[in-house]
Amino acid sequence: MSDDEDTTALAARRVDTTPGGVRLCALADIGDARARGFVLQMRAGRFHGFVVRSAGSVRGYVDRCPHAGLPLAQRLDDYLTPDGGLIACGWHGALFKVEDGECVGGPCTGQRLKPWPVKVHDEWVMTA
């Protein structure tokens, strides 16, 4: 099987939406200016996403760089620049704004990460 076929097969098993109401973690488990990745097994396949906590809010994104389709983090939960100000792709150096996922540097400038709707309810981070 070629690399292109491997990538296509992987993409076919990955889904990019989740149902609402799934508890992901306690809000306290994600520090301010930090992120945490999640993999949810669903009937249609696996969902890969991450949640960023910044300035008192949480935002979720599908864990897929618009440049190459790879997950952004090379190491567990390593989604942000050292100062926590931007989301960083560990593979190709693309940089994304935390607030809206817009790429502001790197090979996919102007593109965006796909939002993953999340919310905080009773101090739990949940899918929305």
pLDDT for the residue 10: 47
Measured CA to CA, the distance from residue 88 to residue 84 in angstroms comes to 10
Res 14: pLDDT: 80
In tens, the pLDDT along 37-52 reads: 999 998 889 999 999 9
Residues 106, 113 contacting (CB under 8 angstroms): no
Nearest to 33 by CA among 94, 68, 77: 77
Alpha-carbon gap, residue 15 to 33, rounded angstroms: 27
What's the pLDDT tens digit per position in 73-98? 999 999 999 999 999 999 999 999 99
pLDDT attached to residue 91: 93
Instruction: Give kind and range of the element (H or E) at residue 6.
Output: helix 3-13
Q: What would the pLDDT profile of 5-62 be if each residue is shown by its tens digit?
A: 454 454 457 898 999 999 999 999 999 999 999 999 988 899 999 999 998 899 999 9
Residues 108, 114 contacting (CB under 8 angstroms): no
State the fold for domain 3-127.
Answer: Rieske Iron-sulfur Protein (2.102.10)
Residues 6+ apart with CB under 8 A from 106: 67, 89, 92, 93, 94, 95
